[in-house]
Structure 1
Amino acid sequence: MKVKARIVDPSGFLSLWNDSSHFCDWDGVTCGRKHRRVTVLNLSSKNLFRVVPPHIGNLSFPRGVHLENNSFHAKIPPHFGRLLRLQELFLNNNSFNGEIPSNLSYCSNLLILNLGYNMLKGNLQTELGSLSKLQGLILQANGLMGNIPPSIRNLSSLQRFKITLNNFGGTIPETPGQLRNLKVLYLGGNKFVGTIPISIFNISALAHLDVGDNQLEGGLPGDLGFTLPNIKSISMWHNHLTGPIPESISNASNLEIIQIDQNNFTRK
């Protein structure tokens, strides 16, 4: 009830959250069969706004919190760091601002962290590199800046890394190329300079690569079509890339989309 009191709910979705029924019967709440504790809180796409109440940190058993597609604002409450069993945290498509709380790193069981399409700023917290079970780190369309921290290399289970449409800069480090399970790597729409690390073209699991709309230069490896056997889409448009387009790309039998316009590629 304390959670409800801090949320503005014009559509009345939370109207049945009252003492006349057990909280496990409330809309948007899923409980475990054995302990009757909240395991999933799903308030996605309910036209809710105002701030997320700190009382959410008092939940002791949640595996999933879904607050995406609402109009929550202010900073992301650090109280999420208390949810030690949390596996999925979806806060995307809101108006959260401020920095990413570093104590989200306490959620050591986290599998998916989606903070995309908000108004977050600051650097990508080094502490997030301790989330060794993380499979999806989605931060696209914010105002994040700085470099990709070296600690990201510790996310050995990571399959999706999306930081498109931010203000990250500097050179792209070797770090993403060390994530051997990576299937989706979206770095487009930032301010990266320098060359694309060769290690990225050696991630054999990679299916989708986006480095478009940056300030990258240099050429592409000649064996690109062989080292990325699972690649389905490549976006490198609007950079300063040079040299020939590798002939080996014709060997990438799964490739469906390639965007390489607005560069300085040459014909052999």
Structure 2
Amino acid sequence: MTWKHYSALSTTSQSQILPDSYHHGRMIPCSSVVGPVLHAASNLESLGLHGQMPPCIGNLTFLKRIHLPNNQLYSQILAELGQLNRLRYLNLSSNNFISGRIPESLSSCFDLQVIDLSSNSLSGSIPEGLGSPSNLSVLRISGNYLTGNIPISVGSSSSLVSVILNNNSLIGPVPLLLANSWSLQLLGLRNNHLSGELPSSLFKSTSLQMLVLAENNFVGSIPVLSNIDSPLQYLILQLNDLTGTIPSTLGNFTSLLWLTFGGNSFQVASR
């Protein structure tokens, strides 16, 4: 896409656009963008964009949406994004050259509903406040090099639907708020170094449809499953250090479509 294509775009409100543009695939500074080019469409997925996002993006405080997945952005995620206090949607996934840490300042974007930073090269820990926006519904940061614990704030939003943190190096237990979330439908924590016992509340959930805890260091037995009306469809627990017996009540879960337990140390239940 060239400058001419952007010039043909109709002008939209600042709250609906991505502030930066690019010329022949290269990101250009905000200060260089004028007229309708400033109001470029917010959907800039898979356009071969490369370069760095300019810090002046933080000046566009009416922005509500940034959608830049599957490009070739590099360097770090800008701390200036934390100045966008109206931002509701942030998707920088599949930009394999984005490195460094997730900026603490993102925790200041209290209106965020969707955060997708998956399939990058992010390292360090997840900021403690990243799960605190009250309307957060989707948190996806899989396929990075993140370490440390899952923040205790993840799960505090009553709107939370999906948390996908697969394929990192996270440690520690599943946070209590996350395990007790009554709105959560999808939880993916596969291929980390998480430990402790499986939270019984996850197996009593009335909302959870997919639970993926495979390839971690969880110990103990599978909690008793008493809610036969559970909407759970996928239960993936292979390659942990689980023991005990597999609950016979699993056979009563009519919604289950996929069940994997291999690579644990279960005992055969006596008859």
TM-score where L is the length of structure 1: 0.85
Q: Aligned residue pairs: how many?
A: 249
Cα drift, residue 38 of structure 1? 4.9
Q: Is the 8 A contact 1:204 1:227 kept in 2?
A: no
CA distance in 2, matches of 1:156, 1:136: 12
Letter in 2 for 1:258: L
Q: Are residue 16 (structure 1) and residue 5 (structure 2) matched?
A: yes
After TM superposition, the structure 1 stretch with the greater mean CA deviation from structure 2, 135-144 or 124-133, is 124-133
Q: Which runs of 5+ in 1 are unaligned?
A: 1-11
Taking the TM superposition and a 5 Å limit, the aligned residue runs for 1:49-60 are: 49-60=50-61
Q: Is the 8 A contact 1:177 1:202 kept in 2?
A: no
Long gaps (5+) in structure 2 = 20-35
Alignment-mate amino acid for residue 136 of structure 1: V
Is this contact kept in 2: 1:203–1:227, CA < 8 A?
no
The answer on whether the counterparts of 1:172 and 1:197 sit within 8 Å (CA) in structure 2 is yes
Within a 5 Å distance, the mapping from 1:210-249 to structure 2 comes to: 210-223=212-225, 226=227, 229-249=230-250
Contact 1:194–1:215 (Cα < 8 Å) also in 2 = yes
How far residue 208 of structure 1 moved from its aligned partner, in angstroms, is 0.4
Partner residue of 1:66?
Answer: 67
Matches within 5 A, 1:189-200: 189-200=191-202
Is the alpha carbon distance of 1:262 and 1:71 closer, same or farther for their aligned partners in structure 2, counting shifts above 3 Å?
Answer: same
Between the aligned residues of both structures, percent identity stands at: 31
Residue type matched to 1:217 in 2?
V
- Residue 5 of structure 1 is matched in structure 2 by none
Paired AA for residue 98 in structure 2: F
User: Alpha-carbon deviations, 1:81-101, whole Å to 9, x = none?
Assistant: 222221111000012111111
The alignment's C-alpha RMSD in Å is 2.5
Out of 162, 165, 178, which is 1:163 matched to? 165
2:263 aligned partner: 262
Quote the Cα distance in structure 1 between the aligned partners of 2:217 and 2:211.
16
What corresponds to 2:99 in structure 1? Answer: 97
Task: Judge conservation of contact 1:123–1:144 (CA < 8 Å) in 2.
Answer: yes
User: After superposition, what is the alpha-carbon deviation per residue over 1:51-95, rounded to whole angstroms, capped at 9, x for unaligned?
Assistant: 112232232332211000111111001121222221111000012
For the 8 Å contact 1:17–1:23, the answer to whether it is kept is no
CA gap 1:229/1:194 in 2 versus in 1, 3 angstroms: same
Write the letter of the residue equivalent to 2:81: F
Shift of 1:198: 1.3
